[in-house]
Amino acid sequence: MAKIYLDPGHGGTDSGAQGNGLQEKNVTLAIALKTRDFLYRDYEGHSVRLSRTGDQTRSLNYRTNDANSWGANYFVSIHINAGGGVGYEDYIYNGSISSQTITYRDRVHAEIMKQVDFNNRGKKRANFHVLRESRMPAILTENGFIDNAGDAAKLKSDDYLNRIALGHANGIASALGLRRKTGGGGGNTYIVKEGDTLWSIAQAHNITVSELKSLNNLTNDIIYPGQVLIVTGAVYHTVQSGETLWGIAQLYGTTVDAIKNFNGLTGDTIQPGQRLRVK
């Protein structure tokens, strides 16, 4: 059972960065809660613990001590940037680290960039407390700049926060090799093995490479061992509070019209808990 520790940055008396009517502590909490929900919705074989689930004040020592004592397998600290830049970046410790930390970071970075259209500021290293003092592989993500009007507009959109969270969830699952649920997240799955190619996987499951890429929102032919791919079957999504058809279509790389046609919808109204076929 993999243990995932999600750390929404700041909280309580520490608001974090502020700008364009947003406070970092509120946005990071929303992303973390959504990431937790996507992990439980789409994957199995794991448990999730958060450093906070509300507007609590948490010291840096509390966060790492809590993750260390729990025996977490991965520490993911979620933040929003500030300082005049634009886009997404992530960090791992700039001291001695395991190769696993680098591999995990590469997979999380890749999955987040599949979901968002933030400017890609790259993979970086720093001497941050949560990266240095955690005893397990750790990453700190910086999801846009709160003081940039363009990034802030995205962070004000619940649909866009879903995209950020889905990228985190898929990246964490890929890093830890979590099994994708069938039915809820959609379809039968295959875990990529050393030496596999998209062509060989497609042949083994009687589909085309184009279909395989479409099912998994792949924009290129790069795959890696441990990656979980949907290989057959319809893909379904359970509607969460605040979601729209447009936002769901964006999550799965499809269109609103396609979702409406699959489900016989004549309008744009959907309800929390409703199960929709999306592919």
* DSSP string of 223-236, one letter each residue: --TT-EEEEES--E
Locate 13 and state its tokens. Answer: 């008396």
Q: Is the pLDDT of residue 62 over 50?
A: yes
3 state SS of 59: coil
User: How confident is the model at residue 238, as a pLDDT?
Assistant: 76
> In terms of DSSP bridges, do strands 43-44 and 88-93 run parallel, antiparallel, or are they unpaired?
unpaired
> Could you report the per-residue pLDDT of 2-52, keeping only the tens digit for each?
999 999 999 999 999 999 999 999 999 999 999 998 888 788 889 999 999
Average confidence (pLDDT) over 268-279: 83
Give one word for 92, left, alpha or beta, with left for phi > 0 and alpha for psi -120 to 50: beta
Q: Is the pLDDT of residue 203 over 80?
A: no
Residues 6+ away with beta carbon under 8 Å from 101: 92, 93, 137, 138, 139
3 state SS of 42: helix
Catalytic status, residue 142 = yes
Catalytic hit among 44, 142, 194, 211: 142
pTM of the predicted structure, to 2 decimals: 0.70
Q: Is the pLDDT of residue 261 over 90?
A: no
Q: What mean pLDDT is reported for the chain?
A: 89
Q: What are the chain's domains? A: 2-176 (3.40.630.40), 181-277 (3.10.350.10)
Residue 132 class from Cβ within 10 Å (0-12 exposed, 13-18 middle, 19+ buried)? Answer: middle
Measured CA to CA, the distance from residue 48 to residue 74 in angstroms comes to: 10
